[in-house]
Amino acid sequence: MSKIAIYPGTFDPITFGHIDVMQRASQMFDEVILLIAVNSNKKNVFSEPERVEMAKIALSHLPNVKVDFFKGLTVDYAKNANAHTIIRGIRAVSDFEYEFQIALMNKKLYSGVDTIFLAPDEKYTYLNSSIVRELARYSEDISAFVPPNVAEKLNQKFHPNKENITKFKLK
């Protein structure tokens, strides 16, 4: 039986912190699914298809990783995908408290799933999608935080009438 894990989140957009977690998870499991999920408490900048496309490109170097989208409870997706592990990225103790509650609820809803917490490399512990979006909105250099395809999409989203913001340093 293959070991399948899912890494759910909104990934609006995917960052190098997310990619770092996925790279390590891909070494631990036979298959890892980056699950782009709907969070009703968030207003996303990118549509589901845009987030899926950006993630697929950003993770294309990982052969045992796939990207999917799901509206519903993560545990329902886990059951259907025969995944027994949910991966959650945590950057700080404050993340752990919230994520631990979610992990306990997921276990209650589906006893066949466990949650593991992975911290990104220390150089990404301060990084999140909200910060990246805000920097992009003000044309700051985000090349150290997201892959070139994501930087380009952010540029198009926030500055649609400009060819290219030079600070983005697209490679």
Q: Which residues contact 130 (CB under 8 A, 6 or more apart)?
A: none
DSSP classification of residue 116:
E
Identified catalytic residue from 91, 107, 157, 167: 91
User: Does 91 participate in catalysis according to the annotation?
Assistant: yes
Q: Which of 26, 88, 129, 153 is catalytic?
A: 129
Q: Which of 42, 61, 71, 162 is catalytic?
A: 42
Closest CA to 153 of 13, 56, 9, 11: 13
129 is catalytic: yes
Instruction: List CB contacts of 47: < 8 A, sequence separation 6 or more.
Output: none
> Active-site residue among 18, 51, 88, 153?
18
User: Is 159 noted as a catalytic residue in this protein?
Assistant: no
Q: Residues for the chain: how many in total?
A: 171
Q: Which residues are known to be catalytic?
A: 18, 42, 91, 129
